[in-house]
Amino acid sequence: MAQSSVRARTQTFLAAFIVGGLGGALLDQIHVRAHVLRYAHPGLAGQPWWVAPQFGIAVVLILVASVTIARRMVSSRDLVPFVVDATIFVIAYVVTGVLRRYPWAIAMILVVLWVAMLLVHQDRALLSTVSLGLAVAGPIYESLLTWTGAFRYTVTPLALRVPAWLPVLYLNAGVLGASVARAIASNHRFEPVQKAAPARSSPGA
């Protein structure tokens, strides 16, 4: 049972790294093509080699944290399909590229999307916790990364070198993260491995 649990976790997080890396790089293409950001040393398709692995690592870390939170919170049965959360996040990303010249319109649309998802989900506590955590941690990380000179945002207005709407985009990312975490946490194969109790010796031993 313990080996099965460890194997399931390994396979899940490996899949998250691969899918998150490829999916993140594809979504990042929206910002590259729309000239929302620019990399200092672009490679294939305008992105450096480290973009996909970075997204993959970020997704794994987000899931680890989100699953930990999901296990500690009392969650109700949520009926919103994963594909809906994923679609909303893709729409949010597209909006940041298509409307790059209208930052406050972007912010308002992203807020509306997040509030709408908050209302349709039953597990609002988990969703809010993950979303708010990402809305703080995500922009801070990207701000620090811009200071290294690896890339820069070319849109305005900027706050700490990142777009003013970026925290709200991370709010929507939190919806997707909470959805995946909920599915993982509810799977019995991912229950924490319990240490076996030491065997008691018989009185005659």
Q: DSSP letters along 3-60, please?
A: HHHHHHHHHHHHHHHHHHHHHHHHHHHHHHHTTSEEESS--GGG--TTHHHHHHHHHH
Domain residue spans of the chain: 2-187
pLDDT exceeds cutoff 50 at 70: yes
Q: With cut-offs at 50, 70 and 90, classify the pLDDT of residue 205.
A: very low
Please state, in angstroms and rounded to a whole number, the distance separating the CA atoms of residues 160 and 158.
6
Cα–Cα separations (whole angstroms), residue 165 to 36, 107, 131, 155, 186? 12, 5, 14, 11, 33
Q: Which residues partner with 151 through β-bridges?
A: 39
pLDDT exceeds cutoff 70 at 188: no
Q: Does 168 or 3 have the greater pLDDT score?
A: 168
pLDDT exceeds cutoff 50 at 84: yes
Phi and psi angles of residue 105, each rounded to the nearest 5 degrees, phi first: -65, -40
Q: With cut-offs at 50, 70 and 90, classify the pLDDT of residue 183.
A: confident
User: For residue 148, how many C-alpha atoms fall within 13 Å in the half-sphere facing its CB?
Assistant: 9
Query: Is the pTM for the entire model greater than 0.75?
Result: yes
Query: What is the per-residue pLDDT for 193?
Result: 47
Rg over alpha carbons for the chain, rounded to the nearest Å, is 20
Cα 100 to chain center, whole Å? 22
Cα–Cα separations (whole angstroms), residue 118 to 15, 27, 171, 179? 27, 23, 10, 12
Query: What is the per-residue pLDDT for 13?
Result: 87
